[in-house]
Amino acid sequence: MIDRIEQLLERVEKPARYTGGEMNTEVKPIAQAEVSFAFCFPDTYEVAMSHLGMKILYDILNALPYAVCERVCMPWIDMLEGMRRENIPLFSLESRTALNRFDIVGFTLQYEMSYTNILEMLSLGGIPVKSAARVESDPIVVAGGPCAYNPEPLHAFIDAFMLGDGEEVIVKVTDAVHDGRKQGLARLEILRRLAGIPGVYVPAFYSARYHGDGTLQSFDPIDAAAPATVTKCCVADLDAAAYPGAIPVPYTQIVHDRIMLEIMRGCTRGCRFCQAGMLYRPVRERSVDRLLQLAEQLVDSTGYEEISLSSLSSGDYSKLSELCQKLMERFASRRVSISLPSLRIDSVVGDSLAQTQKVKKTSLTFAPEAGTQRLRDVINKGVTQTDLLSRLREAFEGGWNSVKLYFMIGLPTETQADLEGIAHLAREAVNAYYAVPKGQRAKGLRVTCSASVFVPKPFTPFQWNAQDTMETVRAKQAELRRMLNLRGVTFHWHDPSVSLLEACFAVGDRRLADVLYRAWELGCRLDGWSDQFRYDLWMRAFADCNLDPAFYANRERGAQELLPWDFIDIGVTKAYLRLEAERALRAETTPDCREGCNGCGIERIEGLCTICG
C-alpha cells in the first residue's frame, strides 16, 4: 500500500498534507502497542495542525507506555478521489496504518459543518459508518469537543462521546478499551464499561420519543449501565495538567503556524450567546512560572518565532502584564513575538500591548458583537462604546494600524438601529486612527469588520431563540455592505445558508442523523469550505427525510420544552440559563462571576467549589 500512496502523492495538491514525518512527531512501533488510538480531525491537515486540543491529547496518549496515538486528517478532494480510485484506505500520518486497524478511532468535534467529513473518513477508512453495523473486530469510535455537548445528530455514528475537558477522560476511555480487549470482552460489554466512566455518553443505551408536533417527548436510558444524567469532566489544576513541551512542526503552512500557549481556561463574563463561556466554567489559570517553562520548551523544540497567548479572553488573565513582560525579556533577543488574540474591549491591556509590540506588531482583534449599547446589554457583553474607543486610541497611539472588529447579526431583539450602530462604530474607529497626529501614527489603516450570523447554541441563555431566516439575514447583510463602504474599512460576512445548517445541527435531535447520512450519500463533504458546500443537496436530504430545517433553525422553543441535550449536566443549570434569557429581554446585565457568585450552579460539581469560590 505504501508504494501506491507514494505514487498518488505525486499527483495531488500539497502532498505534505499526507506524508507525516514532521519534526516532534511521535513514531512508536504500532505493532508493539497494546492499544492504538487514531486521533481524527474531520477537516484538512492545515486546520487540524492548528488545533491545540489535538496536540495536547496526542502528547498525553503517546506518553502512555502501552499506547500509541497517530493522527488522521480529512483528505482534500483530489486525494479523496485518488484513494477511492486506487482502493487505498484512509491511513494515519505516522505509520500509514489503515483506520480500521486501530483499536480506538477518536474524532474531535469543533464545527457542525465537519460532520459529513466524519462519515466520509469512516467509510474511507473501512469502518461501517453506522454504529449498529459494526462488528467485534471494528474499532470503538469515540468523539469529544464542544459540539459533543449536543451529540444527538451524530448518535448513529459515534459509539461513545466524551464530555468536558479531555486530558483525564481520554486516558480512562483508552484504558477501558485496552482492558476490555485484553480480557476478551464483547464490544457491547466494552461500551457498558465506557458508559460507567464519568463524562462518557453511549447513545446506544438511550431512547428518544417525540410528540406529534415534532418536539421531544422523552429521553431515557434503556440499559442499566447508562446514567440518567451525564456530567461533564473538568480538570481542576491547569498547572498540573499535561501540556506538550514539543509539538509537531508542519512542512507546509497551516492556519495558525505558531506556538499556542493556553494561559487560562474558562470565562466568567457570561455573554449570553457564547457557548464556550458556559461550557468551560469555572475559570482556571496557569501560573506565570509554568507558562514561562512551557514557552521555553516550545521555542527550543519548534523554532517558531511567535507565541500566541490562547484563551477565551486573554485580556482577563490576572497576571497578563507580568507574563508579557517576562516573555519579552526572555525571548526578545531571539526575535520571538507575542500575540494577544481574543481581547475584550474593557480589558486592561495597555502595558501588555506595549510589551508585545517590541518585536513585531500583529493585528489586534476586538469583539464588540453588537452596534448599540442596548443590544450589548441584551447579550450581556458588559462593555461600552467608550471602552472600545479608548482601547482603539491606545492601540493607534501605540503604533498599531490594523484592527479587526467582530460583530454578530440576527441577535435576539436586534433592530435597524443596532445595524446602523455597527457602521457608526466602524466610522468611530477610523476617526480614532486619524485623531493621532500624522507623524505619530502607523501608515495604512486597516479596519476589518466581520459580521457572523447568530446561531442558537445549547447551554446558553439563547438556546431557546430562533435564528433569522435566510431572507432576513441577506437583507441585513446588504444593508451593512452599503453602510460599511468606508475608506480603510473592509467588511466580511457569512453565507446564511451555511449558518442555517450550523443552527440545525447545533440544536438538532436524533432525527438529523438520517439527514446527515442522506446528505453524505448525495455527495456532501468538506462543507466548511465554501467551494465544496452544496446547499441544494442538503435541502434535498432534508426533503428525502421529511424534515424541515426551519423546525430546527427558525423556531422559538418553549421554556418547558424538553431539549435534546437536557440529559447533560455542564454545571450551569437550566434554571440559571432561563433566568439569563429573561434578563436579556429586559436588557438587564449580570456582573462578572469574579465580582461575586451569580448562582449559575457550577459549584454543584464535586471538586470545583473551591475554584469557583
Whole-number pLDDT of residue 609 = 45
Q: What radius of gyration, in Å, describes the C-alpha atoms of the chain?
A: 24
DSSP alpha helices (H): ranges in 415-463? Answer: 416-434
Reported as a single tens digit per residue, the pLDDT across 24-82 is: 998 899 999 999 999 999 999 999 999 999 999 999 999 999 999 999 999 999 999 99
At residue 519, the pLDDT reads 98
The residue among 372, 487, 363, 477 whose CA lies nearest residue 424 is 372
C-alpha cell at 255: 492556519
pLDDT tens digits for range 523-532: 999 999 999 9
CB hemisphere CA count around 81 (13 angstroms): 6
- pLDDT score at 164: 96
pLDDT tens-place string over residues 169-216: 999 999 999 999 999 999 999 999 999 999 999 999 999 999 999 999
Query: Measured between alpha carbons, how far is 453 from 503 in angstroms, rounded to an integer?
Result: 10
Instruction: Give the number of other Cβ atoms within 10 Å of residue 487's Cβ.
Output: 7
The residue among 63, 124, 69 whose CA lies nearest residue 94 is 69
**pLDDT given for residue 376 in this prediction:** 97
Buried b (16+ CB within 10 A) or exposed e, 177-213: bbebbeeebebeebbbbbbebebbbbbbbbebeeeee
What pTM did the predictor assign? 0.94
**Whole-Å CA distances, 485 to 327, 372, 414, 479, 563:** 40, 19, 22, 10, 42
What span, in angstroms and rounded, lies between the C-alpha atoms of 518 and 425? Answer: 44
User: In the structure grid, which three cell numbers stand for residue 571, read together?
Assistant: 454545571
Q: What share of the chain is helix, strand, coil (3-state, %, to 5)?
A: 40, 15, 45
- Report phi then psi at 160, rounded to 5: -155, 140
What distance in Å separates the CA atoms of residue 546 and residue 539, rounded to the nearest whole number? 10
Hey, what's the cell of 263? 494561559
Q: How far apart are the first and last CA of the chain?
A: 57
Backbone angles phi, psi at 361, to 5 degrees: -85, 130
Residue ranges of the chain with pLDDT lower than 50? 348, 358-360, 609-610, 613
Q: What does the CA dihedral 244, 113, 73, 274 come to, rounded to 10 degrees?
A: 0
Domains of the chain: 2-231 (3.40.50.280)
> What pLDDT, on the 0 to 100 scale, is given for residue 55?
97
* 131 phi and psi angles, rounded to 5 deg: -55, -40
Could you read off the pLDDT of 355-389 as tens digits, one per residue? 555 444 556 778 899 999 999 999 999 888 888 88
DSSP 88: P
- Give the model's pLDDT for residue 347: 54
> Count of residues for the chain?
613
Residue 524 is predicted with a pLDDT of 98
C-alpha grid cell, residue 70? 497517530
Coil, helix or strand for 496? helix
Cis peptide preceding 437, ω within 30 of 0: no
Q: Identify the three-state secondary structure at position 207.
A: strand
